[in-house]
Structure 1
Amino acid sequence: MEEFSRKVFRALDSIGHGPDMIRFRRKFWRYFPRHFNQTEGTEIGLSHMVVGSKAEGISSALESDIDHMFLFSDVICANSLEPFYLVENITLLQTDTSDTSPGYTKLRFIDCNGEMSVALFHEQGDLADRQVLQDNYISSEKFLSFHYKGVRSVEPHHGMIRGLSGPAMESERFYKEDCVCALHCYCPHLLENWKRRPRQYDWPSRDTLDTVASMFGQLVPVGFKGSGNQRLEWRFCFIQSELKLTLCLNETQLKLYILLKMITKDILRSVCSTISSYIMKNITYWICEFLPPFVFTEKNLLTVLVLSLRFLKLSLEKGNFLPYYMIPDRNLLAERLTPKEYHGLADILDTLIQEGPRIVLRCKKLQCILTCELQRQGILWRYKKQRNLVEKMQLFRILLDKYDSYNAEILDFLLGARLLNTVLPERRRLRNMGLSTREVDVIYRKRLSTFLS
């Protein structure tokens, strides 16, 4: 098993999950919002960041949606607002967790002095006219609806917005994107509880605990499904805190998370579409906290993978309860599984656990690398190098799409030509064989997707 585990560990490097490529993605997606934040964002009072698996560096260019979060720069939510009373030009909202589900809060309107947010929250503002203020609370449902309608009315976005999924607006042009509007939340009481809970081993480290506990959280406009106050509830999120935790994972822990994401996509979603990579990220955090650090080595990768699936199975058996890592009282499985999905998920987890380390062969990309001739022919390194080059070029094309200039168009054209030559070097031979431009383009896109999805 140890040798097979090492083989899987190395195979992940070949399909874009090596340390160098992960670092490159993280740097790229940190840079990506800079243009917006220095131009439009300043004018309209929004700050933008890329979040989720893209920001973590574990998702390749075409593998999943690009998740964006837009935060109102002059709005602060907090349980105790005293530290902010003397801050000028800011809108204050007070969190109120009475009568709410764990991990959720209501937002009481206190004061509106923010230059950009005044039109959103003032009594005479647009949101109030649309009944977003209910008994002096901000309705998350109306807030989300207001922004959804506003974005759809802007001409560049018209026809791109596909709909709403939870708090996210889904859009699609050249690639799929999810956008969430959120509010800054100062919640030291929640993070102090997280920091001070007993831990048997040194993960996260003491320095990381201190750093995470000092960060701001976020509130996103979505209530707990089935709650009596669902329309008024907002969900606590800790986007930057969780990114910090992911950055602290060692290589084995990070590859555990990547394998769990693959298993979710290729196996578990066939019986339960609501099992998400976010659930797997939380399982990764719990496993890293529960097990001693010396366990997380290359030779133990698959052993820890099976233990993680046992953890999910145990969560199903213990009342269908999987605690959110930052607020353990919140259940990540609540209202997610129908009875049919519950039994289907439990059955397939039993099968996978009994199957043991060989379950990774059910993951399409890994199966290809582990069973094909590439390793015996000794050209795996060249494949890895070519694949990573292709992704870097594709990422730069995504970045250039955000710039409306002649130079950006020229660079995009040159990158596109280089990408075509790299991905499909035999295109001229294919045209000489009688294939149409459209047929060659289909082959190119399919091969590009094989590289990067």
Structure 2
Amino acid sequence: MFQQPGYIENVSMGLSEVLADIGVSERIILKRRRTWLLVESIETITSQLEDEDLPSYFLGSQCEGTTTQGLKSDIDQLLCANDFNLIQDWADWEPGVRNFLMIQDETISSGYCLLQRLRRDAPLPSNDVTNRYQFRDRTGRILLKNTIMSESAAEFYGDGVRHGPAYARQGSPGIIDNDTVPAVPCKTWSLQARQWLDQQGVGQWPSNGMKRYCRSTECFVVAVGSKGSENEELEWRILTSLAERCLTFNLNITQIRCYILMKMIVKTFIKAHFEDTISSFMCKTVLFHCIANTHSNVWRDNNLLVCLSLCLFVLYSSILNEYCPHFIIPGNNLMRGHIPHESKPYILEILLYIINSEGRALLEIECDALGARIWLKSSYFLSFKTNDIISGQLLQITAFAVDKNLQKYLISTKNSCYTEAIQTLLKSIIKLLIISNQCQGLDKTACSLMAPWYCTTLGSILASINIHQYNAVSADAFTLTTLGLNTDVSSSKLKLASMLYCLGDAQRTEIVLGDIEGSYDLNSVKPVCCCHNFAKQAGRRGFWAIYDNHNEEALQNSTALCVRFLPCEINCVPRELRQEMYRSTQEDLAFRCRNELWMDLAVVDSLPYLYFLQYKTYSYLGREEDQQRALMNLVRTIDQEPNLGHRETALNLLGQCMEQKYQARDALRCYLLSLSVRERNNAAKFHICTLLSNIISN
């Protein structure tokens, strides 16, 4: 069939169009990369604000843009531990720090190394075994066991499952699974990888410019040894992940489509029966070798079918010979120990069937409905809808990154007094300004996204002091608070409204709340909460459409984050919400998870808090009809909004509204519903006790 005139070109172009329809287009790929590199900047800058030296890198398919919705790729995150100094040259030894010499010789598996402990006071080998993570070998060298990192990481990721060097956390519905790899950066490029920098293949790929950039990136070691090695507990795997990310970022669209098709084929035909055999990394490595050994003019959209067949044939040969050399460290055979003897004939038979099918086997792929789309040649409507959904998901990822790092920062200051909190926030704002002035690109964008939140929080703390001391709010507090009003649709504006309400200024409170309600389009705004994992439902159609033609600036018009108050903001918090800061009894504390420190703050979803404040404000103004409308909106939101992260808090606020209307039975029902949502660490217990006490007293 390949011999039929135009067959290859027609099938290749049709396949390229279908892949573009499911989001494998240059525009969507660049949008994916921008999103994850921005999240990377946010995470790294947040660690700098907290005086932690923990750079973070996102790697793999999500950041590369080499995935689709149907592939459901995990998030791969590399967390650097910079308290080690790994050297290959004695000249790089540093006094007073933990120095380790990377040993790479013929006794060590290729792609791995040993770490020999050195003295802190002189560039000499250490002679003492000081803990159980150190081992003296036959030559007297003190070597570091890789279990030091795996055991400490296991404590930190207690609910995670270890896969090689990674700790996998399974997400809730609607949340991507996360693989976190603790790693130690090397001072210089690994000796085993340096020879690659001087090699050049037939296709003149990678280019000299790409290799110069790769040379400037960091290498890492991670805590896992080569399978079956006699030194498995002592070996550390060498990673060249940033160089590999650079290579992937320089693939053209045909090469990326070829890689994604390989992953779909493996997922459909092989993983279903032989799960832990062929990895995505093997497919990527095969692609790299094919590109390096063919001329660049081969990789065209109208030749996609030939390119795919070439890659599948090389993958077939790799499995047949059980040999797939790492692209940068060729001595590291990726196939070693991964292809069970009894499975090998079946895997080869499957690949041979796909290669000989000349493209027909692709019709059997259910991932992203690829086979059905090839038949139908996807309509414009399907293309539009898919790209909208992908764009909306990427905007949501950015919003979660901002929210998660803001929450992490607030939790770190939750026990601070007024003076400490103000000093910490001022220091962070100044740091952000310095970082912003010294950087460019996405790092500057990350600073501009984060700084307004800190300004609003600082303004709210100052206002809390002012209200307590003078029952007034200073101009400085107002100015700082208003600097963050455009962070998202509602949360920062609600802080301003809350401040005005506690000040007793009902007229201005109503104006701010009216502005929020006018901006909060129920058809497009997405509630965002990262306090805990809960089953989130897909956003509304309007939300998906917004980001398709915008970048992260769309956050201010399409997302509504939680409203969070620190204890030192308490005078800007209505009485009904303050009890959320004291939700836990001594018994409840024992049932808290590690990631539930947010419970020491007052946290509420934006939309129910908007309607609650409206209810209270209209009550103060004596506008009964508007007050009743706000109450009905609060009830409807609690009942119908699927993406509330703090439904129990909204029910507690509604219960107190019922109490104030002298509807004790309805109030009790709200508190009991709240307890059904969150049985422990819930202020509803306090409200029930107070309600029953008042009933008895009256």
What TM-score range do you get, normalising by the shorter chain?
0.7 to 0.9
Rate the CA distance shift 1:214–1:371 in 2: closer, same or farther, 3 A.
same
Aligned to 2:250: 248
CA shift, 1:293, in A, is 0.5
Aligned partner of residue 105 in structure 1, secondary structure? strand
Corresponding residue to 1:30 among 11, 30, 37 = 37
Question: Whole-Å Cα distance in 2 between the matches of residues 254 and 203 of structure 1?
Answer: 15
Q: Verify: 1:21 aligned to 2:25, yes or no.
A: no
Given that 1:188 and 1:213 are in contact with CA atoms closer than 8 Å, whether structure 2 keeps it comes out as: no
* 1:342 partner amino acid: K
Q: Verify: 1:149 aligned to 2:155, yes or no.
A: yes
Given that 2:259 and 2:287 are in contact with CA atoms closer than 8 Å, whether structure 1 keeps it comes out as: yes
Deviations 1:141-198 (A, max 9, x none): 232112212443xxxxxxxx23211111111344311111111122353333112234
Aligned partner of residue 55 in structure 2, secondary structure? strand
Deviations 1:281-330 (A, max 9, x none): 10110010011101000011111101111101111222x11111111111
Q: Verify: 1:420 aligned to 2:539, yes or no.
A: yes
Question: Whole-Å Cα distance in 1 between the matches of residues 490 and 118 of structure 2?
Answer: 50
Question: Whole-Å Cα distance in 2 between the matches of residues 75 and 3 of structure 1?
Answer: 55
1:350-429 alignment, distance < 5 Å? 350-364=352-366, 365=368, 366-372=370-376, 374-375=378-379, 378-402=380-404, 403-404=406-407, 410=490, 414-416=525-527, 420-422=539-541
The root-mean-square deviation of aligned C-alpha atoms, in Å, is 3.1
Question: Whole-Å Cα distance in 1 between the matches of residues 163 and 374 of structure 2?
Answer: 36
Q: Verify: 1:165 aligned to 2:284, yes or no.
A: no
Q: Verify: 1:68 aligned to 2:77, yes or no.
A: yes
Rate the CA distance shift 1:106–1:22 in 2: closer, same or farther, 3 A.
same
CA shift, 1:441, in A, is 7.0
Question: Whole-Å Cα distance in 2 between the matches of residues 258 and 150 of structure 1?
Answer: 33
Given that 2:196 and 2:329 are in contact with CA atoms closer than 8 Å, whether structure 1 keeps it comes out as: yes
Aligned to 1:200: 202
After superposing the two structures, state which structure 1 stretch, 56-65 or 226-235, moved more.
56-65
* 1:49 partner amino acid: Y
CA shift, 1:248, in A, is 1.2
* 2:153 partner amino acid: H
Aligned to 1:283: 286
Aligned partner of residue 339 in structure 1, secondary structure? coil
Q: Radius of gyration: which is bigger?
A: 2
Rate the CA distance shift 1:393–1:78 in 2: closer, same or farther, 3 A.
same
> Post-superposition, which runs of at least 4 consecutive aligned residues in structure 1 deviate over 6 A?
121-124, 405-409, 437-442
Given that 1:8 and 1:370 are in contact with CA atoms closer than 8 Å, whether structure 2 keeps it comes out as: yes
CA shift, 1:277, in A, is 0.6
1:53-452 alignment, distance < 5 Å? 53-60=61-68, 63-82=72-91, 84-85=92-93, 87=94, 90-98=97-105, 99-112=107-120, 129=131, 131-135=132-136, 136-152=142-158, 161-174=159-172, 175=175, 176-185=177-186, 186-187=188-189, 189-274=191-276, 275-318=278-321, 320-364=322-366, 365=368, 366-372=370-376, 374-375=378-379, 378-402=380-404, 403-404=406-407, 410=490, 414-416=525-527, 420-422=539-541
Aligned to 1:48: 56
After superposing the two structures, state which structure 1 stretch, 365-374 or 267-276, moved more.
365-374
Question: Whole-Å Cα distance in 2 between the matches of residues 6 and 213 of structure 1?
Answer: 37
Deviations 1:359-386 (A, max 9, x none): 32232221132223743xx434433443
The answer for unaligned runs of 5 or more in structure 1 is 114-120, 153-160, 426-436, 443-453
After superposing the two structures, state which structure 1 stretch, 390-399 or 100-109, moved more.
390-399
After superposing the two structures, state which structure 1 stretch, 272-281 or 89-98, moved more.
89-98
Rate the CA distance shift 1:372–1:390 in 2: closer, same or farther, 3 A.
farther
Identity %: 22
* 1:172 partner amino acid: Q
Given that 2:162 and 2:168 are in contact with CA atoms closer than 8 Å, whether structure 1 keeps it comes out as: yes
Rate the CA distance shift 1:360–1:228 in 2: closer, same or farther, 3 A.
same
Q: Which structure has more strand as a fraction of its residues?
A: 1
CA shift, 1:90, in A, is 4.3
Given that 2:42 and 2:402 are in contact with CA atoms closer than 8 Å, whether structure 1 keeps it comes out as: no
Aligned partner of residue 17 in structure 2, secondary structure? helix
* 1:25 partner amino acid: R
Rate the CA distance shift 1:234–1:374 in 2: closer, same or farther, 3 A.
same
Given that 1:219 and 1:235 are in contact with CA atoms closer than 8 Å, whether structure 2 keeps it comes out as: yes
Given that 1:60 and 1:391 are in contact with CA atoms closer than 8 Å, whether structure 2 keeps it comes out as: no
After superposing the two structures, state which structure 1 stretch, 55-64 or 289-298, moved more.
55-64
* 2:206 partner amino acid: P
Given that 1:191 and 1:326 are in contact with CA atoms closer than 8 Å, whether structure 2 keeps it comes out as: yes
Question: Whole-Å Cα distance in 1 between the matches of residues 47 and 247 of structure 2?
Answer: 30
Question: Whole-Å Cα distance in 1 between the matches of residues 46 and 391 of structure 2?
Answer: 30
CA shift, 1:13, in A, is 1.3
Aligned partner of residue 169 in structure 1, secondary structure? strand
* 2:135 partner amino acid: Q
After superposing the two structures, state which structure 1 stretch, 102-111 or 266-275, moved more.
266-275
Question: Relative contact order, CA 8 A, sep 6+: which one is greater?
Answer: 1
Question: Whole-Å Cα distance in 1 between the matches of residues 180 and 398 of structure 2?
Answer: 21
Question: Whole-Å Cα distance in 2 between the matches of residues 396 and 123 of structure 1?
Answer: 48
Given that 1:397 and 1:415 are in contact with CA atoms closer than 8 Å, whether structure 2 keeps it comes out as: no
CA shift, 1:123, in A, is 7.6
The answer for unaligned runs of 5 or more in structure 2 is 1-7, 137-141, 411-452, 454-486, 492-519, 529-536, 545-637, 644-698
Rate the CA distance shift 1:361–1:373 in 2: closer, same or farther, 3 A.
closer
Aligned partner of residue 93 in structure 1, secondary structure? strand
